[in-house]
Amino acid sequence: MKLLEDKIKRDGLILGDDILKVDSFITHQIDIELMKAIGQRLATVYTENKITKVVTIEASGIAPAIYAADFLHVPLVFAKKSKNVTLTDELLTTEVFSFTKKVTSTVSISHKYLSPEDNILIVDDFLANGQAASGLVDIIQQAQSNIAGVGIVIEKSFQDGRKLLQDKGLQVTALTRIGKFENRQINFLEADDA
Ligand code: 5GP
């Protein structure tokens, strides 16, 4: 997605060897127009798939997922990372290791929001080693819902996430794919929606 690549080139910051900071437009301050375009693009790719729900994980997956769900006219369900006293329903849970926080947390979705009739589009902001997306896959499979695909805003293709998901038989749609960081520059691969 050219618009997104241009924005990443202009406003993304490379931290260390493998982190891209996008807090001025995705993970802290949100560029609403860009996010709408991202959501629309993901929705367009899956428009024929009869998606019934979009599923993401809090927090920064929520913004792109909202717009994808909006364009698909379906609800958005997000997995919660901390147990809350208001979460009294039967929970589907799994463990997810966070690439950026380096901690493992239990994430959950109420069973009542996923059923075997659901056809799910997973959406997340980044795909790195695939732990967050795999955690969502695990929860969705516990509910026996179908997974139509995984929509990703930024894939770091030099990490293992894509392979992990494809080995599970899942379709991955990344709007931008970063091949490598080289001399503080970002090298993009051809995106899946091109
Ligand atoms: P994975 O679980 O695929 O290893 O990592 C994906 C999750 O870690 C995403 O939900 C995202 O929150 C975070 N993440 C991974 N890599 C980056 C990165 O380079 N920058 C930012 N801002 N978040 C990342």
194 assigned to some structural domain: no
54 assigned to some structural domain: yes
Residue pLDDT, tens place only, 100-126: 999 999 999 999 999 999 999 999 999
ipTM: 0.99
Residue 62 pLDDT exceeds 80: yes
128 assigned to some structural domain: yes
Instruction: Residue 66: give its domain's CATH number.
Output: 3.40.50.2020
DSSP symbols for 42-87: HHHHTTTS---EEEEETTTTHHHHHHHHHHHT--EEEEBSS--TT-
Among the listed residues 187, 186, 55, 190, the one whose alpha carbon sits nearest the alpha carbon of residue 123: 55
- The reply to whether ligand 1 has any atom less than 6 angstroms from the CB of 100 is yes
Q: Is 162:128 a contact under the CB 8 Å cutoff? A: no
Q: What is the pTM of this model?
A: 0.97
Question: Is 131 annotated to bind ligand?
Answer: yes
Domain count, the chain: 1
Give CA–CA dist 57/180, Å, rounded: 25
Q: What is the mean pLDDT of the chain?
A: 96
38 assigned to some structural domain: yes
Q: Which atom of ligand 1 is nearest to the CA of 161?
A: 3
116 assigned to some structural domain: yes
Residue nearest to atom 11 of ligand 1 (CA): 126
Question: What SS3 class is residue 99?
Answer: coil
Residue 86 pLDDT exceeds 80: no
Residue 180: band (very low, low, confident or very high) from pLDDT cuts 50, 70, 90: very high
114 assigned to some structural domain: yes
Tokens of 169: 């038989």
Q: Is 56:62 a contact under the CB 8 Å cutoff? A: yes
Domain that holds residue 115: 2-189
Spacing, Cα 127 to ligand 1 middle (Å): 6
Residue 184: band (very low, low, confident or very high) from pLDDT cuts 50, 70, 90: confident
